[in-house]
Amino acid sequence: MQVEHDYAHSLAVAGQPCADDPHREPLVLHPLVREHPDSGLKSLYMGMFCTHVVELGREQGSAFLDALLEQVTQPEFVYRHSWQSGDLIIWITAVSSIAPREATR
């Protein structure tokens, strides 16, 4: 499955106006599922820059991504860290989704 990635779409989702031509950056297709070259682990390659799954069409493909995001962001699939002095966290950006939260102390 291929997913359309659109920079202008990500700005719109974030509520930020696109100062330049909204399609200055080209639309790009990427696979929805990527495989890590060393471990072979598979991960989803999606985020607010994705418009839809191409093979499903714009309306159904967008709804599919919304449902998928709803599923993978359920609490049982999300790691939240309670920071303590001396903590160090390392993650593989290519297979992680990072959503910053307000720092708590």
Per the prediction, the chain carries an average pLDDT of 80
The answer to whether residue 104 sits within a structural domain is no
Query: Is 100 domain-assigned?
Result: no
Instruction: Give the pLDDT of residue 95.
Output: 56
User: Are residues 52 and 4 in contact, defined by beta-carbon separation less than 8 angstroms?
Assistant: yes
Domain that holds residue 35: 2-95
Q: What is the pTM of this model?
A: 0.69
User: pLDDT value at position 79?
Assistant: 81
Q: Is there a domain that residue 64 lies in?
A: yes
* 70 inside domain: yes
CA distance 45 to 36: 11
What is the structure's pLDDT at 94? Answer: 59
pLDDT for 63 equals: 95
Residue 71 lies in a domain: yes
**Average pLDDT of the residues in 78-101:** 75
Q: Are 5 and 50 in contact (CB under 8 A)?
A: yes
In the block, residue with structure tokens 């699939």: 77
Number of domains in the chain: 1
User: Would you say residue 36 lies in a domain?
Assistant: yes
Q: How far is CA 53 from CA 80, 90, 94, in A?
A: 29, 30, 20
Confidence band of 74 (pLDDT split at 50, 70, 90):
confident
Report residue 97's pLDDT band, with 50, 70 and 90 as the boundaries: low
Q: What is the pLDDT of residues 37-68, one digit of tens each?
A: 888 888 888 877 888 999 999 999 999 998 99
Asked if residue 10 is part of any domain, the answer here is yes
How distant, in Å, are the alpha carbons of 7, 92, 102 from that of 49? Answer: 6, 20, 22
Whole-angstrom distance, CA of residue 45 vs CA of residue 95: 8
| Residue 105 maps to a domain | no
